[in-house]
Structure 1
Amino acid sequence: MDINKGKHKLEIIKGLILIAKISIASGVSWELAKMLGSKHPYLAPLTVILSIQETIQHSAVYAFYRIIGTLFGIAATIFIIKHLEVNGWTIGMVLPVVLRLHKTIIHQIALTILLVFVFVHKTNYYVSDRIRDTIIGALVAIMIHIIIVPPNYVKDARRTLTQFGIDLGQLFKKVAYWVNNNCEFVEGENLIDDTTNLLQELHQVEKEFEKAEKSLRLSPFGRNKKQQLKQNEQFLFQLKHGYTYISGVLTTFNDWSETNSLPTVDRQKWAVQLQVLGEYNTKQANQNLENRAINKSSLDLLNLSAIPLQIRIPPELESHRHQLSLYNDTLKLIDKLKAK
């Protein structure tokens, strides 16, 4: 099953929802500003358009910064307007005062100072309208964002996680085939490239999870989604360990094969072991996909006892396995440092 099927359609739907939110919030804020006596009601929907971000938290933070920036800008302008003329040098002298604030607040202060300087001489209502309408627009934007299809990126995170699980399972199987076929150098280099690409995919999964977690903040309807996200984090934890493992053993097999001391029997056993681990990742990813398809909130982790250990070491080496592992890892690190 292609988990990316319908992804483009989903993005279009999200875009239409965002447009609808902005349109509704703009109309409501405009009318509300007019009802409260504003002579410049367009200032309210302007705040709406700027404040509606990809998550409720981002929207709330931006709206807060816009309100603070507006208040600071108006206060600064009123304080000096009686003593300065309206020109570019005036604005240039005022801006350094606010440079230690958050950059979004700085932008709002600069914009407010500019517009107040321009409009305050033309209308006596602009200052009060800007304060009131900015607050109206900010509040309406946040309320509409919460009420109408609140942002939720849990499904996106789950989709990218599932795809990563499938791709990781495929990498295990490719490495298994490579080990079983004499670990050819050229194929090994290609697998290293695949591992690097998969690392970029893992970073994207982590970004999607961070985005999903942020999208649930301040959302009154996100409790169940938070539980789903937490359950999928368990799967991500497993996959990260799986990636660390396969990237390590790939290098080890590559080094081992160069010594011409990799027995055929060992290659076959390791190929089976890697194949089993790859099938586990693929099965887990497909289960995650099936749960999404039936809207199941829980992720039943597979029984790890179903993964048999194919490789055995001589009993006399069992007590030395940790030391040998550390020795091998340290030796590889020193070899890489020498190569630099």
Structure 2
Amino acid sequence: MNPVARLRSSSRTPFLQVVKTAVAVVAAVLLCRLLIQGPFPTFAAIAALLVVQPSINQSFVKGLERSAGVVLGVLLATGFHLLLGDSVWVVLLVVVLAILIAWALRLTPTSATQVSISGMLVLTAGVVTPNYSADRILETVIGAVVALVVNALIIPPVLLEPAHLAVARLARDTAVAFERVAIGLTEGWDHDRWQDALVRARALRAQHAKTEASLNAARESLTMNPRGGRHRTILDRDDAITEHLRVLVTRVTGMTRAIRDNTAPDLRADPVVGGIATEVARIGADVRALSARVESTRLDPSSTAGAGGDDAEVSTAEPALTAPMEIVRPNSRHWVLIGALLEDVRRVREELLGEDD
């Protein structure tokens, strides 16, 4: 890979994030120039640059990390300057000690790096006095606070829609996987087609992991967000649906693998297999209805659907899945596969109907 290509991200930072960062830096510098007499408030500008994050919660954490690192670094540099002066070897000593102290205290990477940088900047920026050190700490606090306020006031992003759509897609693709099993049992697929079906079913695990990551990002964006409370009901519901889908993904993958490993040319002729295919098709219909229910839930919390209006009507529909099948005499050739599929159907039914408590 071209090393230069590593300098570029696969996606752009939202332009609103760029605007918020610029506003925070300018506001922090101007405020420090009004409150603190002295050189250009570098610490305030750096704090504003680092603290503006995609969510308010992340900004708050970054502000704490940045402030803690600056306080430790400035105090360490001031103490060694008063004792040993400001020669090159003193600067190097402070940097090394800052690294060791950060390691000993188990500081986060942001705080650990900031201890060394702050100590080095204090010792190399000019004459170090207690007042100078106090001003640098105050600068950092002002920069962090300004960045946090700007991030809160300029339309904090709510990342609920990408997560909501990811849940709907996962439910839809899980329904397709069940429908694929039903079609394969009905048409009598060979080993190669079942292998392809298994590859697609296994891909659902990675998709489920990405969906969970989207939900975590959405929850992060709602933390400390003034608009967060209105969206948490939908997010909690999506979390619960994703947990149900985790079980369904495991089941459909296991069913597909069992059929792949035990399929035979005469499997379709078994009447019990036909009944299982019907049940699996009904499972697919129920999961597809779940996907439609998620998609129909509007993200505007003031709407009746988002508050349980249209969604409540859909959820009251009777599931297509019937009662578990009863097999009086198992097939002597395929009874292992049939038994495994029947157990999977039973467990999926319990998951869909909420009977596994």
Say whether 1:234 aligns with 2:237.
Answer: no
Aligned to 1:75: 75
Q: Report if aligned partners of 1:70, 1:131 keep a CA contact under 8 Å in 2.
A: yes
Structure 1 residues without counterparts, runs of 5 or longer: 1-10, 318-323, 330-340
Say whether 1:65 aligns with 2:65.
Answer: yes
Q: Report if aligned partners of 2:47, 2:140 keep a CA contact under 8 Å in 1.
A: yes
Mapped partners of 1:188, 1:93: distance in 2: 60
Q: What is the letter of the counterpart of residue 71 of structure 1?
A: V
Task: Please give the root-mean-square deviation of Cα atoms over the aligned residues, in Å.
Answer: 3.0
Q: 2:315 aligns with which of 302, 312, 325?
A: 302
Aligned to 2:180: 174
Aligned to 1:159: 165
Aligned to 1:86: 88
- Cα drift, residue 240 of structure 1: 2.0
Q: Report if aligned partners of 1:269, 1:310 keep a CA contact under 8 Å in 2.
A: no
Structure 2 residues without counterparts, runs of 5 or longer: 1-10, 331-338, 345-357
Q: Secondary structure at the match of 1:305?
A: coil
TM-score by length of 2: 0.78
Q: Report if aligned partners of 1:86, 1:117 keep a CA contact under 8 Å in 2.
A: no
Cα separation, partners in 2 of 1:231 and 1:166, compared to 1, 3 Å:
same
Aligned to 1:337: none
Q: Secondary structure at the match of 1:25?
A: helix
Say whether 1:278 aligns with 2:284.
Answer: yes
Q: 2:146 aligns with which of 131, 140, 153?
A: 140
Aligned to 2:202: 196
Per-residue CA deviations over 1:19-56 (Å, capped at 9, x if unaligned) read 12112222221211111024323432321111112222
Q: What is the letter of the counterpart of residue 181 of structure 2?
A: V
TM-score by length of 1: 0.82
Say whether 1:222 aligns with 2:225.
Answer: no
Cα separation, partners in 2 of 1:83 and 1:122, compared to 1, 3 Å:
closer
Could you list the structure 1 runs, at least 4 aligned residues long, displaced by more than 4 angstroms after superposition: 122-126, 258-262
Q: Report if aligned partners of 1:74, 1:112 keep a CA contact under 8 Å in 2.
A: yes
Aligned to 2:349: none
Mapped partners of 1:202, 1:325: distance in 2: 24
Per-residue CA deviations over 1:293-339 (Å, capped at 9, x if unaligned) read 7764244363473223276223589xxxxxx669x99xxxxxxxxxx
Q: What is the letter of the counterpart of residue 257 of structure 1?
A: T
Per-residue CA deviations over 1:265-311 (Å, capped at 9, x if unaligned) read 23332222222221222222123222237764244363473223276
More moved, 150-159 vs 39-48 = 39-48
Q: Report if aligned partners of 2:80, 2:94 keep a CA contact under 8 Å in 1.
A: no
Identity of paired residues, percent?
18
Aligned to 1:49: 49
- Cα drift, residue 136 of structure 1: 0.7
Q: What is the letter of the counterpart of residue 101 of structure 2?
A: V
More moved, 219-228 vs 134-143 = 219-228
More moved, 245-254 vs 138-147 = 245-254
Q: Secondary structure at the match of 1:307?
A: coil
Cα separation, partners in 2 of 1:151 and 1:164, compared to 1, 3 Å:
same
Aligned to 1:99: 103
Q: What is the letter of the counterpart of residue 35 of structure 1?
A: L
Q: What is the letter of the counterpart of residue 94 of structure 1?
A: L
Mapped partners of 2:280, 2:328: distance in 1: 22
Aligned residues: 313
Per-residue CA deviations over 1:2-35 (Å, capped at 9, x if unaligned) read xxxxxxxxx87x7021112112222221211111
More moved, 270-279 vs 181-190 = 270-279
Q: What is the letter of the counterpart of residue 97 of structure 1?
A: I
